[in-house]
Chain A
Amino acid sequence: MSAPPILSVRGLRTTFATRHGMVTAVDGVDLEVLPGECLGVVGESGCGKSVTFASVMGLVKPPGRIAGGSIRFLDQELTTLDEARFRALRGRDMAMTMQDALTALNPAYTVADQIMEVVLEHDASLDGSARQRRAQARARALEMMDLVGIPSAAKRLDDYPHQFSGGMRQRIMIAIALACRPRLLIADEPTTALDVTIQAQVLDLISTLRTELGMSVVLITHDLAVVAEHCDRVVVMYAGQVVETAPTRALIDAPEHPYTRGLLASIPRLSALDAPLDPIDGRVPDLVDLPPGCRFRERCTVAEARCTSEVPMVPLAGERAVRCVLAEGGR
């Protein structure tokens, strides 16, 4: 590996105390984000991908809490960081966008206000009186709206979120996230709420800005097709664990984990429209009272007796790893 990672998660465990027992939504997750790369994090809903990055951002809501592991970001340990310092990181060095901009933007404030407040909070380069600082922040808001491609941005600064289209709202949310030029952008399902054509535009925008601003991007998605096009590396999660990690190309060409193969098989392909889609049968297991062993085995077509004992991550050649007993020359 070249440069040291800017984010490194080790053995992260995040649990939720519910009426039905303790749910371990994230169970021993390891992952790294390198400078300037785009990491795709893939899995079905409820696999723990969003909770993993909520933990990274320090935004896990009660009754959830981080129960173990370490999160290092820019050489700081986040799990023990006090709230004031953590707050200073959020929005400045690490930023996130949420699934649905309609609900993530506050309906009661103008978009200018919502971009400006993050600048006013974090940007040390603003100076002068309160009024001057506001003017500078407003100029930055305009600049950001231009950057993310809002047409006639100057006129629309004082509009409310509901006055924009879905794609434009998503861009505004990106503008807010990037207003302080963060080192890491966590984009949580940035396209799920959008039409297909708009999806591509938003993803392209994120990719372009990543190179322009030299930041790292984590793209959380359930869509392997999105990953294939935009990410350098992929982490596949299942039931709170990482089950496979690999460079994108290698993963698509030769998936190692049966779950990854299942995900790939369930993507419709332009080259083979007639081929039947092959969804994965069954559902994600109940995260309360998980039995030991491979969590995918109930749904796995090639499961064996030894799948019932604990399965570790197995490192493979080509900077990849997989959590499956069959991966190690088993086939």
Chain B
Amino acid sequence: MSLGRLIERLAQLVPVLLGVSAIVFLMMALTPGDPVEIMLGDQHVTEEQERALRHDMGLDLPPHERFVKFLANAAQGNFGQSFFHRQPVMDVIASRLPATIELSLVALVLALATAIPLGVLAAVKKDSWLDRAATVTSLFGVSLPGFWFGILLLMLFAVHLQVLPVAGRAGYESEVAPITHLLLIDTLLRGRLDAFLDALSHIILPAVTLGLPMAAILTRVTRTSMLEVLDQDYVTFARAKGLRRRAVLAKHALKNALIPTVTVAAIETGSLLGGNMVVETVFGWPGLGRLVVESIFVRNYPLVQAAVLIYAITYVMLNFLADVLYTVLNPRVRL
């Protein structure tokens, strides 16, 4: 992909990001009644504090000015004060973000590591028992409610077998000085194998729960595209050239078959963000998803607004990444 084309595609993101921000902004307007009153509920505050909060949220401005202020602040990562936490919203979010990123990455790796081999094998051995098993498994994977599956896993591994912890991120969190803020990496970098295993034991169940629907979707996508590719002339031609079966599959078929898989994976990574809310709630994972759910119940609107915007921007960027990956993998599309 040429640089010019890349810049053009980036420029196309601007209206989408603006629109997304506008919707996030408008959501607040949907709140029936006065958001400040609802937020404060029956907390006792001085009129002074209330006015400060009102000003902080820009509620003393006319709507269009408020939107401009919202955009300007958002661009600087300023989402106001979290009344509930008594610190800037952005700081609260930043403190929770690494846990969510780590969980999502592990789920993504698990999903890719199972889905690609399974999808390829299912396609190559079409109609075999393995293919059928993969199809049934992936059907279950997309039909399982994540929160319920998580609870079943907890009941089995944490309550009955007692081999894995029930909740949380790690017992050693405070002991290992952060480098990347991703525990699995930090513990290894610090050479703390015990802490690494502990972190691993905490992350495995939530990551499996979060990654399962994605693995199911990716298995299907890989199988379908692999089947399609295996039917292509260039695969027949590769066989006609007398190439080894493995070369035909691994070189000629797989590279083309993975194009849709990678694209869908990038998009589905965005959906992991949504799944985070549920999975983090089930497993008491101290990430952004749980923070948002908690914030809704204490009516911490600025935080919800900021988090939704961050999720949406991440999602848009992931879709953009999917696009870029697609063109990189596929020399036919010269964007």
Residues of A within 8 A of B (CB): 57, 59, 61, 83, 87-92, 95-96, 98-100, 103-109, 117-118, 121-122, 160, 162, 173, 176-177
Contacts and interface: CB of A to CB of B under 8 A. Distances in A.
Contacts of A173: 237
Given A160-B331, A162-B331, A104 B237 contact: yes
Given A91-B243, A118-B241, A98 B330 contact: no
A103 B232 contact: yes
Contact of A107 (B239, B247, B251, B256): B256
B242 interface: yes
Contacts of B332: 107, 160, 162
Interface string B269-307: 000000000000000000000000000000000000000
A57 B239 CA distance: 9
B242 A98 contact: no
A102 to B, nearest CB: 9
B240 A91 contact: yes
Contacts of A107: 234, 256, 330-332
B44 interface: no
A176 B239 contact: no
B256 A91 contact: no
Of all A-B residue pairs in the complex, the 4 with the closest CB atoms, nearest first, are A91-B242, A90-B242, A103-B233, A91-B241
B256 to A, nearest CB: 5
Given A106-B256, A108-B255, A160-B332, A87 B244 contact: yes
Contact of B243 (A57, A96, A105, A118): A118
Contact of A121 (B236, B243, B256, B329): B243
A107 B256 CA distance: 8
B238 interface: yes
Nearest to B244: A87
A104 B331 contact: no
Contacts of B256: 106-108
Given A106-B252, A108-B331, A59 B232 contact: no
A301 to B, nearest CB: 38
Given A107-B256, A108-B330, A121 B241 contact: yes
Interface in B224-270: 231-234, 236-245, 247, 251-252, 255-256
Q: What DSSP secondary structure best describes chain B's contact surface? A: helix
Contacts of B238: 106
A90 B241 contact: yes
A44 to B, nearest CB: 21
Contact of A104 (B233, B242, B251, B329): B233
A188 to B, nearest CB: 10
Contact of A100 (B233, B243, B245, B330): B233
For A108, A121, A122, which residue has the most chain B Cβ atoms within 10 angstroms?
A: A108
Contacts of A160: 331-332
A106 B243 CA distance: 14
A74 B332 CA distance: 40
For B232, B234, B329, which residue has the most chain A Cβ atoms within 10 angstroms?
A: B234
A118 B247 CA distance: 11
A177 B331 CA distance: 23
A162 B334 CA distance: 10
A118 B240 CA distance: 10
Interface in B317-332: 329-332
B241 A98 contact: no
A194 to B, nearest CB: 16
A51 to B, nearest CB: 13
A19 B252 CA distance: 30
A181 B132 CA distance: 43
B75 to A, nearest CB: 40
Nearest to B329: A108
Contact of B237 (A88, A98, A162): A98
B276 to A, nearest CB: 34
A121 B242 contact: yes
